[in-house]
Chains A and B, each alone.
Chain A
Amino acid sequence: MTVQEALAGVRELVPELKVAALVLVPDGFVLGHVGEGGILEHETLARVATGLFAGVEAPEPDGAADRVTEYFILLADRVMVLQRGRRQPGMVLCTMTSREPNLGLLLTTARDAIAWVESHVDPAVLDG
């Protein structure tokens, strides 16, 4: 399955999806995208993903031994969820939705979405 085909599946999984992009970190290379906006918007998502996952490493909250694998950013009328690949940590799925669905649902569906992408995208694309 191509990246675009996998991202089309993400549209079905995540409610109220406005845009989704698959990004390589730390390079910030956009592997593919679906939804609203042009290349500049997708590059913006890539810069956010790079800033979060390749920037300052998160401290371990109260002794947690594992690393941050997901972020959500609450904006005035949108929510961005970033999911780092569990098997391919160099891959980040960024989804932007409206704020209508509740956060729990958005997180859960975004997790399903990264699992879907990881199981359908050939890891070889990560090597360029």
Chain B
Amino acid sequence: MVDVAENLAPIWESVVAVLAWVDDLPEDATGELAFGDDGAVFVEDRRICWAAARPLVGRLSELLRQNAGMSPNEFRACYARCRADGHPIGQWLVEQGRLSPTLLRSTLLQHSVESLLLMCRSEPQPSWQPRARRGYSAHFTFYSVELLLASSAVRFAEQRVAAETVLASFGEPGELGAAFAPNDDGLGVIPIAALSPARHGVGDLLALGEWGASATQAARELGEEANLVVGMTQAEQAIAVWWHDGILFAVPCIDRRELAVVTARHLSLGA
């Protein structure tokens, strides 16, 4: 495990840069983002299939073997068969009922995050190499924002759980909501939760946090922490932001009705 549980700040910028870069690829982009000898990130249709850092060779196999409850010998045999057939071992384990789809997804995500964090330690300058599609199931691949949130969760696990609980309590009007924690270096905020990762780009999510932090900071001029700060456009699209227990929440609302629901729920929850 990469130890960033105490301080994510030194590598956060690199993590963001890599994931934002993937986000900016064409929709059908498939290839490998190579980190020299350190490892690579494989992308299919702009979704991240896996990240693998060289020092973590064997880590994914071990995670899969443990989670599938297999002996080393049994796993080795299955792995060899899958490799010969060109079949992803994880998906094969799911097809065989050895692993639930949810557990495979979380295992792949964990491994990719560990690899990404490791590769981002050395100020990477990755290079893009287009590759042929390998036919990964979309269900077992990830949006950049999912990796971004899973990366921050290594440092802010408890806050993420708390934030998701608050965001979920807003129901449908809060489905674009996101939560942020102050970065360890005191500069800006880091996204830690979003209920609909598929609807956010990395840049959009970061911009939402930056604006929320700036707006609530401006409101502090009034000498107290605001219960709520809301910015609204002429078309009555709005973003509501507030701090609660050291977490910044930002909930975009598509119209005044949604804003009314979010405001009322926020006040009733005292969240």
Binding site for B on A (CB under 8 A): 44, 47-48, 50-52, 55-62, 64, 66-76, 80, 86, 103-104
Chain B, residues 237-255, CB within 8 Å of chain A (1/0): the string is: 1110000000000001110
Interface residues on B, range: 20 to 34
Q: A59-B239, A66-B234, A68-B231 are in contact. Are A51 and B222 (CB under 8 A)?
A: no
Q: Looking at chain B's contact residues, is the secondary structure mostly helix, strand, loop, or mixed? A: mixed
CB of A51 within 8 A of CB of B253, answer: no
Is A61 in contact with B226, judged by CB distance below 8 angstroms?
A: no
Do B214 and A55 touch across chains, with their CB atoms under 8 A apart?
yes
Max chain B CB contacts within 10 Å: which of A57, A61, A62?
A61
Whether B254 pairs with A68 at a CB distance below 8 angstroms is no
Contacts of B211 in A (CB 8 A): 56-59
Question: In the complex, what's the smallest C-beta–C-beta distance from A82 to chain B, in angstroms?
Answer: 9
A86-B231 contact, Cβ under 8 Å, with A48-B219, A51-B221, A75-B222: no
Q: How far is the CB of A67 from chain B (nearest CB, A)?
A: 6
Question: Can you name 18 A-B residue pairings with CB atoms under 8 Å?
Answer: A47-B221, A51-B217, A52-B215, A55-B214, A56-B214, A59-B207, A61-B254, A64-B233, A68-B232, A71-B230, A72-B228, A72-B229, A72-B232, A74-B229, A74-B263, A74-B267, A76-B227, A80-B219
Query: B235 is contacted by which of A50, A58, A64 (Cβ under 8 Å)?
Result: A64
Query: Which of A44, A59, A73 is within 8 Å of B228, CB to CB?
Result: A73
Chain B hits for A69, CB < 8 A: 232-234
**Cα of A47 to Cα of B217 in the assembled complex, Å:** 11
A48 contacts B228, C-beta separation under 8 Å: no
B57 at the interface (CB under 8 A from A): no
B222's partner among A62, A67, A73, A86 (CB-CB below 8 A) is A73
| B210 proximal to A (CB < 8 A) | yes
B99 interfacial by beta-carbon distance below 8 Å: no
Among A55, A61, A86, which residue has its beta carbon within 8 angstroms of that of B239? A61
Instruction: Determine whether B204 belongs to the interface, using a CB cutoff of 8 Å to chain A.
Output: yes
Closest beta carbon of chain B to A110's beta carbon, Å: 11
A44 in contact with B224 given A52-B231, A66-B234 (CB within 8 Å): no
Instruction: State whether the Cβ of B176 lies closer than 8 Å to any Cβ in chain A.
Output: yes
A69 to B228, CA, bound (A): 17
Task: State the main secondary structure of chain A at its contact with B.
Answer: mixed
Give 9 nearest A-B pairs by CB, closest first: A51-B218, A56-B214, A61-B252, A68-B231, A64-B237, A74-B228, A59-B207, A74-B227, A61-B237
Interchain CB contact under 8 A, B222 and A48: yes
Q: Contact: A66 with B219, CB < 8 Å?
A: no
Q: From residue A52, how far is it (CB to closest CB) to chain B in Å? A: 5
Give every chain A residue within 8 A of B267 (Cβ-Cβ): 74
Chain B nearest CB from A93 CB (Å) reads 15
Name the residue among B227, B231, B232 with the largest chain A CB count within 10 angstroms: B231
A74 touching B226, Cβ below 8 Å: yes
